Amino acid sequence: MPTDPLSQKEIEDRLRELPGWSVDGDRLTRDYRLADHFAATALVVHIARIQQELDHHSDLTLGYNTVGLAVSTHSAGGAVTGKDFELAERVQAVAPGHGAE
């Protein structure tokens, strides 16, 4: 089930496929750097659309030229689940198109 908490080994295996992402506390997290504030804002809007589609939402932070995500699954008691990785993978797929590093 995608909303079951993942084991430590499952998390480590899946993190290997997601460069730049890590688990901080109980949340899957990554910060992206962009060219400027407008590019960062466009990525936030794109992520918001993905989150709406997945019905799964990160704590999403917009800075001057940065976008930060931190996500866990509330319905799994705040653990990291396959839903969190699904969101991370979707974001990771679109971020380069925004020039995010």
Ligand X SMILES: C[C@H](O)[C@H](O)[C@H]1CNC2=NC(N)=NC(=O)C2=N1
Nearest approach, Cβ of residue 30 and ligand X (Å): 15
CB closest to ligand X, residue no: 74
Strand, coil or helix: 15: helix
How many C-beta neighbours within 10 Å does residue 29 have? Answer: 20
The nearer residue to ligand X, 40 or 71, going by C-beta atoms, is 71
Output the CA–CA distances (angstroms, integers) from residue 99 to 26, 29, 34, 59, 71, in the order listed. 28, 19, 6, 21, 22
Nearest approach, Cβ of residue 31 and ligand X (Å): 18
The nearer residue to ligand X, 22 or 75, going by C-beta atoms, is 75
Residues of this chain that interact with ligand X (CB under 6 A) are 55-57, 71, 73-75
DSSP tag of 75: G
Nearest approach, Cβ of residue 23 and ligand X (Å): 14
The nearer residue to ligand X, 43 or 73, going by C-beta atoms, is 73
What residues form DSSP beta bridges with 81? 5
